[in-house]
């Protein structure tokens, strides 16, 4: 699963939602998200999230087969990071677009781009076209998620927002369980391409249901009588710098040649000022309070997703599992993730939130460290399903808690900007750690894996290529456990 694709839907609104946070009638304390005034909109936007969730969980299952057929195992990590890279830019763009003209246009454009990216990947005849399709998906996904949160801010009274956010979160549970299994079955019997080309047709229903309600309740600027705000060109340049810098850095790391140091250096030069401008001061030195909350979000999401991206590939190529069984290894994680999120929401956990987050990060670190044990043939494959479920339990507590702490440590007028920083940290860490993992994987001969390994003819370099991805990510998660001890700091200003 992708941590940037919002599995923890209790996250604060993305960039752009800040300006519309109180457009809905907050004094209306009646009704529900399924009353006649909201029913079509609620079902429509929750269905959109459901489809995004299904795509996110299904793609990981089909990806090993797609990479193998397209001779692209050596650039396997790009297929994941391309989505994250472009979505970073799209989030900032969608926030400003929604504030200036309303969320209807970015939502429509985002769903169109998302569907186009799926079709491009599903019909690709070469790996570079497949990766390009994933990049187009990222643009669409970034636009959609931000627009959805702006819609919630405008169309729902304040007392209804927790319920619709809970529905967003619940939308990830069923796809987390069913998605990998369904994708594995489709991949085996129909081919991996159908996992991609079949989803766009499913977006017609939620769009047809939701668009009239969105046009009625949340179209146009928040204040139609006010002058249209200008584009924040500096913030867009910084977002573009993060996306381009992350892409260049990953390219340099994947090539593993001396000449690749040049694009990597350019990538760093673009990333550093952009990150400094978009994240809270003190983030990279884990300053107490909000900077550590933002940093922890990136560490947790990046380490876990970078490791999880290689789990199906490891099971298919090293243990000879079918895509269906490889997907099943991740299925239980959706339930334990939801359980971890539910536990942190209990009132009795509030005094112990920091300890809960530390424990969650310890579970994540141990889970990632234990995953490559299945490279030993004597270790049953079901062991990975168990340890990964424990890691997802920890992630559920950590990701939800960072959202809660962000609100607690943010002044009301800073919630939007700080929420943007949280998502940027999440997405950027995914790109950087996937780049590092992909480079390590390629350096140890991982790109030579062409077929599922089912006999002793396998070379020793291939298991090492996987171990060199998982073990460093476990170390990163362990650092996150230390950062989790620094989450409490200055309280939000009045």
What is the per-residue DSSP string for 189-203?
Answer: HT-THHHHHTSGGGG
Q: What's the whole-number mean pLDDT along residues 391-400?
A: 88
Region for residue 227 given its phi and psi (left: phi exceeds 0; alpha: psi -120 to 50; beta: otherwise): beta
Q: How confident is the model at residue 493 (pLDDT cuts 50, 70, 90)?
A: very low
Beta carbons within 10 angstroms of residue 325's beta carbon: 20
Contacts of 284 (CB under 8 A, 6+ apart): 275, 295
Beta carbons within 10 angstroms of residue 82's beta carbon: 26
Whether residue 87 has pLDDT greater than 80: yes
Q: How far is CA 113 from the centre of its chain?
A: 17
Tell me whether residue 259 is exposed, middle or buried, using C-beta atoms within 10 angstroms of its C-beta: 0 to 12, 13 to 18, 19 or more. exposed
Tokens 């049953």: give the residue: 380
Closest CA to 292 of 214, 327, 119, 300: 300
Q: How confident is the model at residue 451 (pLDDT cuts 50, 70, 90)?
A: very low
Per-residue pLDDT at 1: 43
Residue 287 and residue 354: Cα distance in Å, rounded? 15
Per-residue pLDDT at 170: 67
Q: How confident is the model at residue 485 (pLDDT cuts 50, 70, 90)?
A: very high
Residue 41 and residue 147: Cα distance in Å, rounded? 13
Residue 478 and residue 300: Cα distance in Å, rounded? 9
Per-residue pLDDT at 23: 44
User: At 137, is the secondary structure helix, strand, or coil?
Assistant: helix
Highest mean pLDDT among 123-132, 193-202, 247-256, 274-283 belongs to 123-132
Tokens 């209790």: give the residue: 10
- Judge contact between 252 and 264, C-beta under 8 A: yes
Q: What's the whole-number mean pLDDT along residues 453-459?
A: 36
Tokens 């480079």: give the residue: 439
Whether residue 226 has pLDDT greater than 50: yes
Residue 320 and residue 453: Cα distance in Å, rounded? 5
What are the structure tokens assigned to 434, written together?
């996937």
- Judge contact between 319 and 300, C-beta under 8 A: no
Q: How confident is the model at residue 417 (pLDDT cuts 50, 70, 90)?
A: low
The CA-atom distances, in angstroms, between 444 and each of 220, 254, 458, 493 are: 53, 12, 14, 50
End-to-end CA distance of the chain: 37
Per-residue pLDDT at 458: 38
Whether residue 7 has pLDDT greater than 70: no
Residue 152 and residue 171: Cα distance in Å, rounded? 16
Q: What is the DSSP letter of 493?
A: P
Per-residue pLDDT at 30: 61
The CA-atom distances, in angstroms, between 25 and each of 2, 150, 157, 161 are: 34, 15, 5, 12
Whether residue 349 has pLDDT greater than 70: yes
- Judge contact between 442 and 74, C-beta under 8 A: yes
Q: What is the mean pLDDT of the chain?
A: 76
Per-residue pLDDT at 459: 39
Per-residue pLDDT at 223: 61
Whether residue 128 has pLDDT greater than 70: yes
Residue 155 and residue 102: Cα distance in Å, rounded? 12
Q: What's the whole-number mean pLDDT along residues 260-272?
A: 81
Highest mean pLDDT among 5-19, 175-189, 288-302, 397-411 belongs to 288-302
Region for residue 445 given its phi and psi (left: phi exceeds 0; alpha: psi -120 to 50; beta: otherwise): left
Per-residue pLDDT at 368: 94
Residue 400 and residue 322: Cα distance in Å, rounded? 33
Per-residue pLDDT at 228: 66
Closest CA to 458 of 471, 441, 469, 446: 446
Give percent of the chain above pLDDT 90: 12
Highest mean pLDDT among 49-58, 236-245, 289-298 belongs to 289-298
Residue 23 and residue 158: Cα distance in Å, rounded? 9
Closest CA to 320 of 375, 275, 274, 281: 375
The CA-atom distances, in angstroms, between 421 and each of 17, 87, 297, 412 are: 13, 14, 10, 15
Look at 367 and 242; give whichever has higher pLDDT.
367
Whether residue 443 has pLDDT greater than 80: no
Cα dihedral sign, 71-75-81-86? negative
Whether residue 325 has pLDDT greater than 80: no
Contacts of 272 (CB under 8 A, 6+ apart): none
Whether residue 299 has pLDDT greater than 90: yes
Task: Look up the pTM and report it.
Answer: 0.67
Closest CA to 398 of 426, 418, 377: 426
Look at 28 and 53; give whichever has higher pLDDT.
53
Residue 153 and residue 18: Cα distance in Å, rounded? 9
Tokens 């290894």: give the residue: 329
Residue 379 and residue 370: Cα distance in Å, rounded? 11
User: At 474, is the secondary structure helix, strand, or coil?
Assistant: helix
């Amino acid at each position: 699963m992708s941590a940037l694709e919002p599995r923890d839907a209790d996250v604060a609104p993305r960039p752009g939602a800040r300006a519309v946070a109180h457009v809905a009638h907050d004094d209306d304390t009646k009704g529900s998200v399924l009353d006649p005034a909201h029913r079509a909109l609620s079902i429509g936007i929750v269905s959109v999230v459901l489809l995004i969730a299904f795509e996110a969980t299904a793609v990981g299952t089909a990806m090993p087969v797609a990479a193998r057929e397209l001779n692209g195992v050596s650039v396997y990590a790009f297929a994941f990071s391309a989505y994250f890279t472009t979505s970073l830019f799209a989030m900032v763009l969608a926030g400003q677009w929604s504030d200036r003209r309303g969320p209807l246009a970015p939502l429509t454009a985002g769903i169109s781009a998302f569907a186009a990216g799926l079709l491009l990947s599903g019909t690709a005849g070469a790996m570079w076209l497949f990766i390009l399709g994933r990049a187009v998906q990222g643009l669409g996904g970034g636009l959609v998620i931000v627009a959805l949160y702006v819609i919630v801010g405008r169309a729902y009274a304040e007392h209804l927002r927790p319920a619709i956010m809970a529905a967003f979160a619940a939308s990830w549970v069923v796809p987390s369980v069913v998605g990998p299994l369904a994708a594995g079955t489709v991949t085996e019997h129909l081919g991996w391409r159908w996992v991609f080309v079949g989803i766009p047709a499913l977006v017609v229903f939620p769009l047809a249901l939701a668009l009239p309600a969105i046009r009625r309740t949340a179209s146009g600027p928040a204040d139609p009588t006010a002058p249209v705000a200008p584009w924040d060109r500096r913030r867009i340049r910084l977002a573009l710098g993060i996306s381009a810098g992350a892409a260049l850095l990953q390219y340099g790391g994947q090539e593993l040649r001396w000449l690749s140091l040049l694009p990597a250096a350019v990538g760093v030069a673009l990333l550093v000022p952009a990150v400094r401008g978009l994240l809270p001061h003190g983030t990279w030195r884990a300053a107490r309070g909000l900077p550590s909350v933002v940093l922890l979000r990136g560490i947790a999401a990046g380490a876990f997703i970078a490791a999880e991206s290689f789990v199906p590939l490891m099971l298919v190529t090293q243990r000879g599992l079918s895509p269906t069984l490889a997907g099943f290894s991740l299925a239980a994680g959706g339930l334990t993730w939801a359980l971890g999120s539910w536990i942190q929401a209990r009132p009795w956990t509030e005094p112990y939130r920091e300890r809960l987050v530390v424990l969650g990060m310890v579970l994540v670190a141990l889970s990632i460290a234990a995953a490559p044990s299945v490279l030993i043939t004597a270790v049953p494959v079901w062991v990975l399903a168990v340890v990964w479920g424990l890691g997802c339990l920890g992630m559920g507590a950590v990701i939800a808690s960072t959202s809660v702490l962000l609100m607690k440590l943010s002044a009301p007028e800073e919630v939007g900007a700080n929420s943007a920083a949280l998502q940027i940290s999440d997405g950027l860490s995914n790109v950087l750690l996937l780049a590092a993992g992909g480079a390590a994987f390629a350096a140890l001969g991982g790109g030579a894996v062409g077929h599922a390994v089912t006999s002793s003819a396998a070379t020793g370099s291939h298991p090492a290529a996987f171990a060199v991805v998982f073990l460093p990510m476990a170390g990163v998660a362990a650092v996150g456990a230390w950062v989790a001890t620094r989450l409490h700091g200055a309280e939000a200003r009045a």
